[in-house]
């Protein structure tokens, strides 16, 4: 497991503990466990999708920079790179978020 996944797990655990701490009064252990597990799973999935979207946006930004400053002999590829940048940063990210129900 890479370091970024470990960081996302830590963030999800922190969120789940915060959700658990919001419960008022004495709570049965089984309820506490369910609240923690559900909160953790939901937050981890959300963080993972957000991370994927951020990587698509980063890749789109790289393609956009290529289109604005193409290397020698690559100017003919600039418009295709700009189209790819738009598709990554807008369409792919929106589709991914919508598909998994994750807000920006």
| Cα angle, residue 96 at apex, residues 18 and 58 outer, rounded to 5° | 90
Residue 69 sits at φ, ψ, to 5 deg, of: -135, 65
Counted domains in the chain: 1
The span from the CA of 19 to the CA of 48, in Å, is 19
pLDDT at 25 over 70: no
- Residue 28's domain comprises 3-100
pLDDT band at 88 (very low <50, low <70, confident <90, very high): confident
The span from the CA of 28 to the CA of 72, in Å, is 67
So what's the pLDDT on residue 13?
Answer: 93
Print the SS3 string covering 73-94. CCHHHHHHHHHHHHHHHHHHHH
Task: State the pTM of this model.
Answer: 0.73
- Mean pLDDT across the chain, nearest whole number? 86
Task: Note the pLDDT tens digit of each residue in 40-70.
Answer: 999 999 999 999 999 988 888 888 888 888 8
- CA dihedral for 9, 10, 11, 12, sign (positive or negative): positive
Q: Which residues contact 83 (CB under 8 A, 6 or more apart)?
A: none
């Amino acid at each position: 497991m890479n370091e970024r996944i470990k960081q996302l797990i830590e963030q999800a655990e922190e969120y789940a503990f915060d959700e658990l701490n919001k419960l008022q009064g004495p709570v049965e252990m089984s309820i506490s466990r369910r609240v923690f597990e559900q909160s953790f799973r939901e937050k981890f999935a959300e963080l993972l999708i957000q991370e994927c979207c951020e990587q698509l946006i980063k890749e789109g930004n790289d393609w956009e920079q290529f289109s604005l400053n193409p290397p020698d002999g690559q100017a003919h590829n600039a418009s295709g790179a700009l189209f790819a940048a738009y598709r990554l940063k807008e369409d792919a990210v929106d589709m991914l978020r919508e598909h998994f129900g994750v807000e920006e």
